[in-house]
Structure 1
Amino acid sequence: MSDHPALGTLRAHRVADAWAAFDAVCAGADGLNAFLAVDREATGLDVGPLAGVPVAIKDNLATHELPTTCGSRVLEGYMSPFEATAVRRLRDAGAAILGKTNMDEFAMGSSNENSAFGPVRNPLDRTRVPGGSSGGSAAAVAAGVVRLALGSETGGSVRQPAAFCGIVGVKPTYGRVSRYGLVAYASSLDHVGVFGRTVGDAAAGLQIIAGHDRFDATSAPHAVPEFLPPTVDGASADPRPLAGLVIGRPVEYFPASLDARIAAHCRHALTVLESLGAEIRDVSLPSTDLASPVYYIIAPAEASSNLARYDGVRYGRRAMADDLGAMYERTRSEGFGAEVTRRILLGTYVLSAGYYDAYYRRAQAVRELIRQEFSQVFASGVHLLFTPTAPTPAFRIGEVSDPYEMYLSDIFTVTANLVGIPAMSQPIGRVDGLPIGGQFMAPHFTEPTMLRAAAALERALGAEAHQ
């Protein structure tokens, strides 16, 4: 894709532009707090599809020159001996890695308020959250520091911040992008994703980082297609570019409780998609209401196992104590924040003797049921699904204190992680001046179809998507 229009747009944003924007919105005590570490010497390469393009990396993706802290005191100052495959592929393409972005600790959160290093502020309204857990990357893109950034998703941590910040966020199919070098939260749910100012930006970034990786046993050996052909990203003479495409509207994602203004923007987006040639069809995914309970059993269970390695012995923070048991306890108590501790305890509980069958095994059975429902809908001739990304716009920092209420921020996004299908969010309008996102979901490994529809919708909505 060396001649793709999106690459020309990305390459037009240079490192000097990035630092000028950084100094304007990120530096100082009143800045966005979007970055945890920066490399002022970053220049990138003179050649490659992303030659000299400034990018930002979520701080749970391992890098050589910069610390990898996962937003946690337990890894404060930690320098990885290796680099994540997705990061290395960006470097090999010529990108300049400007810095590591702030995040909810170990990617556990929906607001970026759980970072040990303070919350990120939404660049569109600094009293509000940018979404989580990849809030720093989303804020960096929305603020104009970079046009391209990497995030990660376990239950919506790319799409929900993209919606809150008014940008594009793409979560590919599980296995499409290597997880090597992504610090594990819940291994069967974790994905590396991409933020961009536009659909073209995000597609160009995904094109670079996708592909099989022998270092990741879950990496799919699928060839990487062209995610967004130049003729699709650019102006199209075809007034009905989506003719023949069937887009499902899952009724469970439009409950009576959904904010009427968000529902109206989604209905308008669907009307626009229909005018572009798509057939809109109501579909049902009846187990949708079980997705969040299932997610909050499986994800903490896997987190309990993955985070056992932070014990003060192998690497990371070590607290001083008189004996080994006390050292373990103090290291983890001092190193982990409240939300990480809560999820470790919950995960340990559901995996414990006497409760494993009642919770974890049953949750896995329901996960399979949800997967089958998606498969049946797609097998019925539906090519894509369209839904709201989040049930609300960005809320104020400190406004949501109930963990259960916070978990509901991901109510429309966790299903795609449970099933492993590609999904994305893009701006479709504003409510009270705050952006809201529309979400596409697609069958496994059909990112090109999803991105083609998203690009057509983006082009048709134009400035309306940000009003």
Structure 2
Amino acid sequence: MTIFSSPWYVIASVVTRTVLLGSVLTIASLPAFAQSRFQVEEATIDDVQEAIQQGRTTCVEVVQAYVDRARAYNGMCTQLVTEDGEPITPGNGTVRAGVPLVFPSTTMAVGKILPDYDDYDGLPIEFGRMEATQSDPDIQQQYGMVVGMEDAGQLNALGTLNLRGERSVTCQAGCDVHPSNAALPTHCPAVCEVFRQQPDALERAAELDAQYGRNPDLDAMPMYCAVFSFKDVFDTTDMRTTGGADASYAMDAPPEDSTIVGELRAKGAIIYAKANLAEYNAGGGNPGGARAGSRTFGAGARSSWAGTSCNVYDTARETGGSSSGSAVSVGANLATCSICEETGGSCRQPAWRNGVVGFVTTKGLMPYGGSIGVEPYLDRAGVHCRTVKDAAMVLDALKNPERGYYDPRDIYSALPRALISKDPYASVVVDRETMGSKPLAGMRIGVVREYMVKHTDNDAAMSDLVNEEIIRVLRDELGAEIVESFDPEYPDDPSIPNMEYNFQRAIAEILPVHMPELIQEKDDAGEYKFAVPRYDVSTRDYLVRAAEGKAPLSEDLNLRSINNSPATASFSFHLLQYLMRRGDPAVTDWKSLNANSKYYSESRAVAMRNWEYKQNIASEGITRRLKMRDVMRLVVLNVMYKNDLDLFVNPTITIPPVRIGYAGEPSVKDRPRGRFPTSANLGIPELTVPAGFNEIVYEPEYVLNEEKDGYDSVTNTEETRLESPLPVGISFWAGPGDEPVILRAASAYEAATGHRVPSPDFGPVGTDDGRKEEEAPEP
């Protein structure tokens, strides 16, 4: 019997809510739909606050409605991949919303994923299996190879909910009983006495209801009763924080909120849940050293503690990472908004795949103090909401009344004051009811053709869809003037004027003097990567001629390829720095972290041990990226000025989400798989908005290589028509400090199109769904 199923936990949980919430609702009471006159599904921040002011709901009812949805939809959505596909007998997982996780007993035979498996002669496959976790040996999790489940009815978006008794493993069950109900049991760690003083999400909602009733002070608390999830890299004093890791801290809730959590808490937000993620923001890869003796295959954003999240529109497909649970929780109406994080694109990638708005700002504008990172000069917080206005309101709420947007714990927040808007960011948002005719008239937008090349059939379907949106909506309906950049592999559109000064010309003018080493870079065979026939690219004379437009650059040196850089070792530094600042007595450094952790695969465990021994953090990668930020900002800003552009637009990416556990779409000519990394590398703002739905995919496949010791991912040319179309994203981006202009353009596009449509698979929770509080959700 686990501690969560003990009589003590059940009694303490129910008694606590009976005492604190009276007869309104308890964790074991009927779902919120039975009593509330307000539906949280698709509700905006304004909707929630207006309903409270009108007496149609209370903050407690709002939070309880989200708890009910978590109980219905936050279960497991992946199954194990085994050698024979035979059923297993899994144990229970951790408790969420009062119910232990139930894992599927079905498995998938590896031969259904890896063709010609009988001929495979490589490293042993690490097949899927159920094992006890490090943090709590009484609960289990999936390890090894997994695959997504079709029509799972579950999403696994939230790893921890801020509910008394289940929000911490250190202080679980009776060790989190409310102080007014009982003394701390003698078997509980002493630190739980302080921890249990903190209200959980429902109790905090009850406090707000008691204090403000129908009259919340929205000037002081603009996020009043907005229910937030947070990617599990942002420290929360009232919830477990481990970066998604199965790490056994002495106290799994940190002693101080991250800056961003603290600001939102002070502005009336409900600190509700920790969102699942790709562990440690996808964890910096493997720095080299020891090698794993086995391997796994397949895509998916995964953490050792919470498992793999699944796509809102097709649970067999990946969410995108690393902020997977953040986007899924918002897309499936499991939270009002979420705070995500990205290093290379981890906010924007899951946003478009799950049909929500993803907003990342100029690096440093949103505070990052008190958070786990991978590469400090790239890591930045972002926002997932269902509307552009909500995202803008969240950004406004993060402004501290004394410090503004400066965060003493984040050195990158020391921005020039001129980059920060003096007016509220939400004030520029275009409203559907009042936007009038041609609200973007006078705005010039650059269409980035480098990010619309039709490398494969998958690229073509999504590129064409977004191109039509740009012309039909932005130009014809909203009145913006558009011009297009140049890429030799994208056909010129005679109906759209060309940029007079494009990215290729800007790169040629700026790169030679600032980064000649990039132009002269050689491949493994010792040949110049960017050789130009009849020119010696190693010479000063060539570089000057290229800068003056008298010699060409290689067509391979473009807006896509210039984002590439060698690996860095910053993860080794940043995670150790986080652990030192956190000050946990059990997990103090890399060695003690690994000693107290368990990882979802052998290859992941080996990589983390290699990071433990990575003492030298100097790398060519960080030098390249820091130089490239300055160089490419010059490129972008010169293109903007010389073409009189306000912003740029392009698809967030041009390939659809792949199936969890299956092959991923190969990268072609420096087109990545999940998002274009320019805004992340440059630290400039970008906002992705739903742009419609794509019903055509070409599923990539695994092919056994000639040596028969591995599998290659290959592009498919066989068309598949989807019964449930998948979202597409359109991105608006510009220079540093240009948040107001992209908010205006993106909100006008959103208002004109209304492309955000919730998945019918995760609709309102009702009395006829057959799911009761005491029943575990079946995947």
The alignment's TM-score, normalised by the length of structure 1, stands at 0.86
**Amino acid across the alignment from 2:160:** A
Return the offset for 1:83.
0.6
Q: Distance in 2 between matches of 1:361 and 1:73?
A: 33
CA distance in 1, matches of 2:625, 2:614: 14
* Structure-1 separation of matches of 2:666 and 2:257: 33
Corresponding residue for residue 102 of structure 1: 276
**1:95 to 1:106, Cα distance in 2 relative to 1, 3 A:** same
> Shift of residue 350 of structure 1?
12
Query: More displaced, 233-242 or 97-106?
Result: 233-242
1:290 matched to 2:593: no
Displacement, 1:349?
A: 8.5
Q: For 1:416-427, what aligned pairs fall within 5 Å after superposition?
A: 416-427=679-690
Paired residues in the alignment total 451
Name which of 459, 463, 488 aligns with 1:263: 463
Cα 1:39/1:360, change in 2 over 3 Å: closer
2:47 maps to a residue whose letter is T
**Which is worse superposed, 124-133 or 300-309?**
300-309
Query: 1:187, 1:161 → 2: CA distance?
Result: 21
Q: Could you tell me which of 302, 306, 317 is aligned with 2:574?
A: 306
Secondary structure, aligned partner of 1:176: coil
Task: Summarize the alignment of residues 20-419 of structure 1 with structure 2, pairs less than 5 Å apart.
Answer: 20-27=68-75, 28-29=101-102, 31-40=154-163, 41-42=200-201, 43-44=204-205, 45=208, 46=212, 47=216, 48-74=221-247, 78-108=252-282, 111-210=300-399, 211-219=405-413, 220=415, 222=417, 223-224=420-421, 225-229=423-427, 232-257=430-455, 259-271=459-471, 272-275=473-476, 276-283=478-485, 284-286=502-504, 287-294=558-565, 297=567, 300-308=568-576, 315=584, 331=595, 334=598, 338=603, 342=607, 356=619, 360-380=622-642, 381-400=644-663, 408-412=672-676, 414-419=677-682
What's the CA shift string for 1:79-104, capped at 9, x where partnerless? 21111111111111111111111111
Equivalent residue in structure 2 for 1:439, among 726, 731, 749: 731
1:423 partner amino acid: E
Asked if 1 retains the 8 angstrom alpha-carbon contact of 2:244 and 2:278, the reply is yes
2:67 to 15, 19, 25: 19
The aligned amino acid for 1:438 is: I
Greater mean alpha carbon deviation, residues 32-41 or residues 434-443: 32-41
Compute the RMSD of aligned alpha carbons: 3.5
CA displacement at 1:215 relative to structure 2: 3.2
Structure 1's unaligned 5+ residue stretches are none
1:205 is displaced (CA, Å) by: 1.4
Deviations 1:196-240 (A, max 9, x none): 111112111122124222332221363553213277234225211
- What is the identity, as a one-letter code, of the residue corresponding to 2:631? L
How far 1:256 moved relative to its partner? 2.7
Q: 1:330–1:134: structure 2 CA closer, same or farther, 3 Å change rule?
A: closer
Measured after TM superposition, the shift of residue 402 of structure 1 is: 9.2
Deviation at 1:148, TM superposition (A): 0.8
Pair 1:459 & 2:722 matched: no
Q: Which amino acid aligns with 2:410?
A: D
CA contact (8 A) 2:344 2:680 kept: yes
Rounded to whole Å, the distance in 1 between the matches of 2:387 and 2:407 is 27
Question: Which runs of no fewer than 5 residues in structure 2 stay unpaired?
Answer: 1-42, 52-58, 76-100, 103-151, 164-199, 284-298, 400-404, 486-501, 505-557, 696-724, 760-779
Larger mean Cα displacement after TM superposition, 79-88 or 227-236: 227-236
Moved more, 267-276 or 103-112: 103-112
Q: Tell me: CA distance 1:74–1:374, structure 2 relative to 1, closer, same or farther (3 Å).
A: farther
Aligned-partner residue type, residue 419 of structure 1 = L
Residues 354-380 of structure 1, C-alpha deviations (whole Å, 9 max, x = no match): xx45x5534544443322211212222
Higher share in helix: 1
Please tell me the residue identity of whatever aligns with 1:422. Answer: P
For 1:242 and 1:348, the matched residues in 2 are separated by: 54
Q: d(CA) in 2 for partners of 1:16 and 1:59?
A: 22
- Contact residue 690 and residue 728 of structure 2 kept, 8 A: yes
In structure 2, what is the Cα distance between the partners aligned to 1:215 and 1:163? Answer: 31
Contact 2:388–2:429 (CA<8 Å) still a contact in 1? no
> Deviations along 1:146-192, whole A, 9 cap, x unmatched?
12111111111111100100110100111111111121211000111
- Residues 413-434 of structure 1, C-alpha deviation per residue, up to 9 Å, x if partnerless? x111111100011110111201
What SS does the aligned partner of 1:386 have? strand
Partner Cα separation in structure 2 for residue 348 and residue 255 of structure 1:
42
